[in-house]
């Protein structure tokens, strides 16, 4: 039986005026991922950079989310082209690539997701979930159509290069990482600092000028709404570990 390459609904939605609400998944659990899948979020982020995830747990979560009305995004532990290749072979179609500081690095991220001659992604669709183990006969030719490449800007250097990074062809969106950015700007643990917020607002404007999608993380409701007002397309408004911590404390508080 032959299959068509899966459609990337998230990539399509980025081209609209929708406000896409995301949930950060850091438990590394396929069960909690599946429980979250039907809660009403538009996308989830499977975190391989700071969450306790490896290729096996990422694969398990992709399978748990499959068929639900939600789009998975995978953040690898780093932006190594070999790791990018492996995550793509698992069937991930949207990647959030951390610590991209220059135009050259952004261009390298695009090449890592493309097959030759446009890129350097190794060919393994016949033995990988991405190509449905060879059941998508033209996978190499159509794979890039539904790949969504998001790069993270989260340092002073990246901010200085934001115009060049956002201009790179093949980059679908730029995600501003507020925690690392606040530390890089000299305000650790204070992403709400006025200087940090001014830098984020400026970055949003530059990204928008290149027609690229804008993303960030804001677990504070008012901050998330402000980012959307500034033009953001996709915001992680909650995280599984954060929700769990607060739910536990709130429950105990009822009896103490």
Beta pairing, strands 20-25 & 43-47? parallel
In contact, 85 and 143? CB cutoff 8 Å:
no
Give the orientation angle of helix 55-65 with respect to helix 30-37, to 10 degrees.
Answer: 30
Q: What are phi and psi of 31, to 5 degrees?
A: -65, -50
Place of tokens 């009403």: 40
The residue from 7, 50, 202, 246 that is catalytic is 50
Dig out the tokens for 119 from the structure: 């890129």
| Residue 60 DSSP one-character state | H
Bridge partners (DSSP) of residue 236 are 22, 217
Beta-bridged to residue 188, according to DSSP, are none
Residues whose CB falls within 8 Å of the CB of residue 205, separated by 6 or more in sequence, listed in order: 230, 231
Q: Rounded to the nearest 10 degrees, what angle do helices 81-89 and 55-65 cross at?
A: 40
C-alpha span between 96 and 67 (Å, rounded): 21
Supply 53's token pair.
């995830």
| Two tokens, residue 145 | 């159509």
Asked whether 20 and 10 are in contact (CB, 8 A), the reply is: yes
- Decide if 246 is catalytic: no
Active site residues: 50
């Amino acid at each position: 039986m032959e299959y068509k390459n899966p459609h990337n609904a998230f990539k399509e939605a980025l081209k609209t005026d929708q406000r896409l609400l995301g949930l950060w998944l850091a438990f590394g659990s396929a069960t909690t991922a599946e429980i979250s899948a039907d809660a009403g979020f538009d996308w989830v982020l499977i975190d391989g950079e700071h969450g306790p995830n490896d290729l096996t747990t990422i694969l398990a979560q992709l399978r748990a989310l499959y068929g639900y009305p939600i789009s998975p995004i995978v953040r690898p532990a780093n932006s190594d082209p070999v790791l990018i290749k492996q995550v793509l072979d698992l069937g991930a179609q949207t990647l959030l690539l951390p610590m991209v500081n220059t135009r050259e690095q952004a261009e390298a991220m695009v090449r890592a997701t493309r097959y030759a001659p446009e890129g350097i992604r190794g060919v393994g669709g016949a033995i990988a979930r991405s190509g449905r183990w060879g059941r998508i006969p033209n996978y190499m030719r159509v794979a890039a159509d539904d790949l969504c490449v998001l790069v993270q800007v989260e340092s002073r250097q990246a901010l200085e290069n934001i115009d060049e990074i956002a201009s790179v062809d093949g980059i679908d969106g730029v995600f501003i990482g507020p925690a690392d950015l606040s530390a890089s700007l000299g305000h650790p643990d204070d992403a709400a600092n006025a200087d940090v917020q001014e830098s984020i607002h400026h970055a949003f404007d530059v990204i928008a000028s290149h027609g690229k999608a804008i993303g960030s993380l804001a677990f504070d409701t008012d901050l998330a709404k402000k980012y959307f007002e500034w033009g953001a397309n996709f915001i992680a408004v909650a995280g599984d570990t954060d929700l769990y911590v607060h739910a536990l404390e709130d429950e105990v508080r009822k009896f103490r």
